[in-house]
Structure 1
Amino acid sequence: MLDKRATNRPERDTQNSDAQGRVRMRITPPPLAHEPEASPARSLLRPALVLALLTLAAVTYFTHSSLTVAAGLVFISLVTIYLMVAELRDKGRLASLIDETANRNRFEIEHLADRMWEMQESEERFHELIDALGDIIVHRDRDGRIVYANRVLSDLLGCRPEQLVGKKLRDVGVEIGVVPDSAFSNGEYLSSTDVVIRAKDGERWFSWIELSARDKVNNAVSHRAIARDITALKRAEEAANIARERAESANQAKSRFLATVSHEIRTPMNGIMGMAKLLADTRLSPEQKTYVNAVSTSASALLALIEDLLDYSKIEFGRFELEAQEVSPRELAENVVELLAPRAYAKSIGLGCHIDPQVPDTIRADPGRLRQVMLNVIGNAVKFTEAGGVLVELKLEGDMLRIDVTDTGPGLDEADIGRLFEEFEQGDGTSTRKHGGAGLGLAISRRIVEAMGGEITATGERGKGSRFTISLPAQKGRRKPQIVRTLNGRSCLIVSKNGMEAEAIARTITAHGGKPEIVPCIEHLVAAPGRAAYDVVFMDAEMENVDARLLKRLRGAGIRPSQAIILISPTDRGKLPRYRAAGYDAFLARPVRGETLMRVLTAAPVAANAAPAGDGERRIETTASGATSFSVLIAEDNDINALLARSALTKSGHQVKVVGNGRAAVDAVQERDFDVVLMDLHMPVMDGLDAIAHIRKFEEAKGKPPVPILVLSADGQEATRKGVISHGATGFLTKPLDPQALVAAVERHGKRLETEQHAARS
């Protein structure tokens, strides 16, 4: 009987076969059969039976015992048959075991073949995958020899992958070394670098990342690397570097262009404006004065346009810089209002300024740029207002200083507001507009305010005026102790047709505890006698000039103020004796400063930083007898500019020597002592900076005190100013020169030198 396990054969899965006819098998291996063991008794039983049979036959023959023989023979025969059957069964089992073992071996061989085929197929798919990624994959041994390299590297080098095996990277033109064993402190080391591979189609850049590791079991070292093509990125970086260098070169060229243009434009403007001012101080007929004023006005307008264009260019070129310092917003606003007041009065409109007492004395800002913003915004309000007036207000809102400029001009609609702060845009963009300009002032103002951390906005309604609001950070401002000036409820009557100016005065009075009332005329006051008397009456000089009996009529109606103050414009100063005769106790020059107003109302001393009332225009006055006369050296190659400076200083009583280049200036200083030196920056033979360096070196060698050197330049850039100061200059004056400012600067520095020399002698 055969064992059933001999018939258990492996079954093949014919549904999964590859293109080459290879069949994958799903096999459940049977358990191994046990080999039958031969019994020692059984192996001796057959010879024993044969011996027994022979013995039994012999006994029967000799004893003639037939029954015994027959029984013995039957027994022996049965035993012999049993043994033969058992032997045959054992042989069948052995044959079955041999067959089963053969099948088992065949199964295991086929199973191993299938596993090897699957592993080979998986490896091929993996290689195809890493080749398709486009990255270089390299495996190297401890000595840096290539164990494996994918097709990406071989294709780059123009060879087959197997040709790279056993070679080092430097042998194929890739400069990558082997990490030394000392770097494997933690068993592995990760490195990254950019390398150049000289491919068959030219050089290409790769980002090479390599992991070098040591096997903790057998201490074997291997280096596995992946490299990605970054040629496009490198080319983009190179292009960006070239573009940046070109941009920097262009910016430098633009900066030089700005400096050159500024110098070339300001130089002739200096001559035009300066000479016009000098000419205005001479004896002129009324017609000549008209012509001179026209020249000055036109030159000022041209200079303002040039300044706007240069500022806009600086902003666009990235050369716009701010110099933050302590600045008084009160002083700055009142100075700007006073500067623009003549324009307003020439149009018969009012211009008032109110500054809330809570406004800090100083804030951190660029005074020149903040003044420029105020001039632009307030100047625009004056320019576009034909009737009524302009009111400037400063107040504190939280940590922000708010500057409101309100006018009664044509107003603005939504479309105007939307484009008002854009470059080359104006509120009236039609070809028939009444006012000129390039439309840059507000755009530049917006850039300046935003650079200071603030904002500028506009509101308005067509036909009802407009309001511009400037908000600036004031958290760093500081306040000085204020002199208390309470009005204790004093009633003040303001008689004026200039509503904006009257409103500014009224708000200042209210802020200090007074009770103001504004009336455009006195008719209803005179018509209703018996009204309560006012403590103070403010009268507009324009109304007093029309009717010289206004104050008398008020008093006749029972309004008898304890103080009558007349509000005059700069042109009314010659009429002060007449106003005094009419009964006025004091006068205030328009536009009225808050400090001056409170001084008059309370008869209290003015704070140390308060400026006097506006004096209108004043001419350069010759130095009084006995005043100090300074010796001034002017180094200027432009004859007109030299003439302007010499004339202004000579008329002020100073001694002047003029030279035409820097070398001559150095020689002059070495020959004699000067109190002040005016040095042009750009001159032939030797420029201003070199001349300053030679002068300072000479003074140091001789042990002389440094003479004040004021640089004259049409290049108004902040970098230029800082540069000349760092080279040894004492001060910096920007062309076009204001003769009055020039004389003031010379006298200020001359007196300082005189004081220092006196202190040194004592």
Structure 2
Amino acid sequence: MPFGYEGSGFLDFPLLDLLHSCPDPIWCIRTSDRKWMFLTLGMEELLRMPIPDFLVRFSLGMVIHPDDMGAFNSFLEEAQSDGSASVEIRMIRGDQSEVWVALRAVGHRDDSGVCKYLVGIARDVSELRRYQQELRKSELKWKTVLDNAGEAFLTVDRSGRITYVNKSFETILGYDRNKVVGESLWALVPEDQRSIIDYQWSLRNIRWQRRYEIELLRSDGSRIPVRIIATVVKGFSSDPEDYLHFGFIDDLTQEKRIYREQKDQLKFLKTLLDTIPNPVFYKDAKGRYQGFNRAFQELFGLGDGDFQMEPEVLPEEFVARDVSSDMELLKNPGTMSFDFSMGSDDDRRDFVIRKASFFDHCGRVGGFVGVMTEITSMKRMERVLREAKERAEASSRAKMAFVSHISHEIRTPMNAVVGLSEVLLEECRDPDMRRDLELIHQASSSLMDILGDILDIAAVEAGKLKLEMVPFSIEEVCSPIFSLMGAEAERKGLDFVQRIDRSARGFFLGDPLRVRQLLWNLLSNAVKFTERGTVSTRITWKDGGVLFVVSDTGVGIDEEHLDRIFGYFERGEDLLTRRLPGTGLGLALCKSLVFLMGGTIEVRSSKGEGSEFSFWLPLERASEAALPKKDQEPEVPELPKGLKVLLAEDNWANQRLMTTVLRRMGLDVLCASDGKEALGIFEQEGPFDMVLMDVQMPVMDGLEVTRRIRGMEKGSGRRTLIVGLTAFSSPEDRKACVEAGMDRFLAKPVSPSRLRKELGRIWAFTSKEKSLIDPAVLLEMADGSKELAKDFASDVLKMIPSYVSSLESAVESGLSAEGVADKVEKSLHRLKGTAGYLGALSLEKDLADMLHRWRDRGNLQVLEGLPDLIDKLKGLEEELKRYLGDDA
């Protein structure tokens, strides 16, 4: 029943229905006995129990939470006495759960003013209280965060009143937060700063964040520079137009101080840079100029407004080098330098620019600093010195070229003198005549040695002297020298002492010819300049090399002249006397050779007490097994008498010598003095069995004559043996001789005995019609090592079947098949090179002709010649097997 004990007449039914429709329970209590006079049905829903149960429970004190019963009674008393009251209490529901209920009551008084009834309404406020509790927690949390923040923080309402400040605000500005809250924001702003705050306040309707700097007043009246970050926030009250200003305040005192200090430092650095005479500039990492000093400004004519200049205001050459150096320093941070020149030749200025990269706080390249140093005077001096050096070197080269040329010119006739005296000595039986001839032969041979020294020096100066690196024995190199010099010393009545320590015995890697040359020069000087006493030689191992010491008791040298003793054209005897012969080249050559081999040479001497020359060479030890095996040279047969020989030699002395030697060998010799004459004699007086062809001749050189002779022989089935004569024996010279068509060549000058020996060997080889390879050439290519020669021959033997197979395939399928032509051409090229190393000159020539036809007339003629080539390769295979013997 929705109403109390007074019966149903308490309220009219229409009004009762209206009250029951209200979701919040409406109630009425009689004050005299606190009976419930009326309850709407909303109470059942609120407390989850029927109204009768509620009345029973209430009477038993089971509806109001025990802890809130006092508050409930106070609420009733207040309403009864004051006419109205409100309270929030907990009530116990039918399911024993608790619910927060807000009660509001109004007293109803009778005519006498006595309050007889309390009428009120109840509302469930559990959810609202939960929201309020969470809000309080949230408010406490953000206030705690703000209080612990390093920045000052405040909130200002729409009227400009401060509503909240944090602890940092108190610390920075010195105000008590409890006192400053409620004060006007303008009270904290100095008079001269209020225009700033007025303007910012005018922007309050702008929702985005604003940032500005201003000065505020501390509690002690002092001013403090700050940065304020302000934001307008709405939704803090029921009024949608209400808002708060949130503001974070940064203390700029330290920042402003640092800024002032940095500004002062920049002024100082600018002044410092401007006092530096060198142009200085600096750029950012993107290559944009950030500044420069006065010297840089004056150098390029820049104005004060060109601080962040465009590169176009600088010379194009400078910009190009500058940008490329920026890129390099970005990739490889550090320092670098480059040269730069500006101006015309008349007013040219040279600079060296040193640049360095610097790093930002993140460790990345932040930019570049460049310093320019003018080196115009130094460059000018360098040019002067370089030109002087070039003139001196040109003069030296001209001198050495002249000396070398004269030496060549002298050596040619001197070779004739040496050779003819040797020929005459072989036949002369008269003792007096032989003595004179021996004197001529010795003198001319000595002169040839001097010419050899001159040519060696010229080769050293030109950087063309090549050193060998072969195993050799110190004893074998020194023994002949000791024998010859010992005999000369004995002739002069000198004691000759030589000793090779055990430490220096054995085998070493080096150039034995140059070691022999060094020791010969020093020993011959020692014997020459010693009239009495001793000449001694000691060879020992020291400091990872071999030390040669030659001492004598001769005339000696003044100490003041020792620093010039190794100079060109300086003679030791010039420093004492001119009574002894010499050119002054021997010691200079010794020094050049020692330095070329990486060694050292020294001299110790005193006038009248003799001299000691020593040189040290860094020779590595070698095992005896590394020595090339010198096979016993086969006996060379003599040339058949009656052979018809054409000698083409432009020098009359050499022509006379060689003609004499050849005719005494029983040969029929015709001579020509130039290439054109030689070609004419070959055409008119041929055929010849052999042609000795000087490579360098007037009118027509020997190479051209050889090419024309080979052209004349084409199709005749004949090939004349042509031997080239040349003073130059480099690989390029040898290649030119072979390509021209020469079969062999001899290096000039050539002695009579060597001429007989070499021609006999060449003829013996070429007279073997079925022989393809020349074992002597193969042995020479292997540096005299028969083992290496056989290894090479074995490798060639293994490759021949593949060459034969590819050529036979070409014969069978033709050259039109895919890839066959290329394969054949490659085979011909490789075979040509291999034939040269084997000394198979006829095969090499055939291959050269085939390649020539391949290029000039197509590959059809080559295809026709392949069967003959295959037969020759099979013959070469059999010959190599015979050469290798059991090793095949």
Q: If the length of structure 2 is used for normalisation, what is the TM-score?
A: 0.46
Tell whether the 8 Å contact from 1:636 to 1:659 is kept in structure 2 after alignment. yes
Counterpart of 2:47 in structure 1 is: none
2:823 is the counterpart of 1:680 = no
| Alpha-carbon contact 1:630-1:750 (below 8 Å) kept | no
The SS at the match of 1:741 is: helix
Matched with 2:311 is 169
Paired amino acid for 1:639: W
1:150 aligns with 2:164: no
- Once the two structures are superposed, the pairs formed by residues 613-652 of structure 1 within 5 Å of their partners are 627=640, 631-652=644-665
Q: Which residue of 2 aligns with 1:269?
A: 414
Q: Following TM superposition, by how much is the alpha carbon of 1:208 offset from its aligned partner in structure 2, in angstroms? A: 7.2
In structure 2, how many angstroms separate the alpha carbons of the residues matched to 1:368 and 1:739?
A: 22
2:836 matched to which residue of 1? none
1:31-51 deviation digits (Å, cap 9, x = unpaired): 7577998999xxxxxxxxxxx
Q: What's the CA shift for 1:430?
A: 3.5
User: Is the counterpart of residue 437 in structure 1 residue 579 in structure 2?
Assistant: no
Which range moves more in the overlay, 104-113 or 196-205? 104-113
Alpha-carbon contact 1:134-1:228 (below 8 Å) kept: no
Instruction: For residue 228 of structure 1, report the CA deviation from its aligned partner.
Output: 1.9
Q: Secondary structure at the match of 2:646?
A: strand
Residue 696 of structure 1: how far off its partner (Å): 7.5
1:282-431 aligned within 5 A:
282=427, 286-312=431-457, 314-315=459-460, 318-327=463-472, 329-336=474-481, 363-380=508-525, 383=528, 422-423=566-567, 424-426=570-572, 430-431=576-577
For 2:516, what is the secondary structure of its paired residue?
helix
Aligned to 1:487: none
**Deviations for 1:131-158, whole angstroms, at most 9, x for unmatched residues?**
2334545567899776644323321233
For the structure 1 residues 153 and 726, does the alpha-carbon distance in structure 2 shift closer, same or farther, using more than 3 Å as the test?
same
Q: Quote the residue 2:736 is aligned against.
A: 727
Q: Alpha-carbon deviations, 1:277-331, whole Å to 9, x = none?
A: 3344455755544443443333334333444444445545655442333555555
The residue that corresponds to 1:207 in the other structure is 353
In structure 2, the CA distance between the partners of 1:610 and 1:682, relative to structure 1 (3 Å rule), is closer
Q: Residues 33 and 368 of structure 1: is their aligned pair in 2 closer, same or farther, counting only changes over 3 Å?
A: closer
How much has 1:264 moved relative to structure 2? 1.7
1:122 aligns with 2:265: yes
Task: Tell which structure's C-alpha radius of gyration is larger.
Answer: 2
Deviation at 1:168, TM superposition (A): 1.4
Is the alpha carbon distance of 1:338 and 1:697 closer, same or farther for their aligned partners in structure 2, counting shifts above 3 Å?
farther
Give me the whole-angstrom Cα distance separating, in 2, the residues matched to 1:398 and 1:127: 60
1:352–1:244 Cα change, 3 Å: closer
Q: Distance in 1 between matches of 2:287 and 2:622?
A: 69
CA contact (8 A) 2:428 2:434 kept: no
Partner residue of 1:490? Answer: none
Q: Deviations over 1:485-523 (max 9, x none)?
A: xxxxxxxxxxxxxxxxxxxxxxxxxxxxxxxxxxxxxxx
The offset of 1:170, in angstroms, is: 1.0
Q: Give the Cα–Cα distance (whole angstroms) in 1 for the partners of residues 368 and 270 of structure 2.
A: 15
Counterpart contact for 1:420–1:427, Cα < 8 Å: no
1:314-713 to structure 2, matched below 5 A, reads 314-315=459-460, 318-327=463-472, 329-336=474-481, 363-380=508-525, 383=528, 422-423=566-567, 424-426=570-572, 430-431=576-577, 433=579, 435-445=580-590, 447-449=592-594, 451-452=596-597, 475-479=620-624, 627=640, 631-665=644-678, 677-688=691-702, 691=705, 707=721, 709-713=723-727
Matches within 5 A, 1:20-31: none
Contact 2:559 2:606 in 1 (8 A): no
Match 1:257 to one of 402, 411, 415: 402
Superposition deviation, residue 643 in structure 1:
0.9
Shift of 1:646: 0.9
The question of whether the paired residues in 2 share the 8 Å contact of 1:184 and 1:214 is answered with: no
Shift of 1:683: 1.9
Q: Determine the C-alpha separation between the residues in 1 that align with 2:341 and 2:536.
A: 71
Structure number with the bigger relative contact order (C-alpha 8 A, sep ≥ 6) is 1
Could you say which residue in structure 1 is the equivalent of 2:67? none
Separation of aligned partners in 1, 2:595 and 2:332:
54
Closer, same or farther in 2 for the Cα pair 1:668/1:228, shift >3 Å? farther
Quote the residue 1:745 is aligned against: 758
Cα distance in 2 for residues equivalent to 1:135 and 1:421? 48
Equivalents in 2 of 1:464, 1:329: separation in Å?
Answer: 29
Q: Which amino acid aligns with 1:168?
A: E
CA distance in 2, matches of 1:749, 1:368: 26
Whichever residue aligns with residue 655 of structure 2, its letter is: A
The code of the aligned residue for 2:295 comes to: V
Specify every segment of 5 or more residues in structure 2 that has no aligned partner in the other structure, as ranges.
1-170, 183-215, 227-250, 739-743, 773-841, 843-871, 876-888
Q: Secondary structure at the match of 1:657?
A: strand
User: Hey, what's the Cα distance between the residues in 1 that align with 2:590 and 2:329?
Assistant: 63
Cα deviation, residue 422, structure 1:
3.6
Residue identity in the other structure for 1:228: M
Tell me the SS of whatever aligns to 1:438. Answer: coil
* Cα offset, 1:752, TM superposition: 2.8
Q: What CA distance in whole angstroms lies between the structure 1 residues aligned with 2:574 and 2:330?
A: 76
Q: Deviations over 1:433-488 (max 9, x none)?
A: 5x432354355345435544566778999999998777666644443699xxxxxx
Q: Percent of pairs identical after alignment?
A: 24
Aligned to 1:523: none
> Are the aligned partners of 2:649 and 2:694 in contact in 1 as well (CA < 8 Å)?
yes
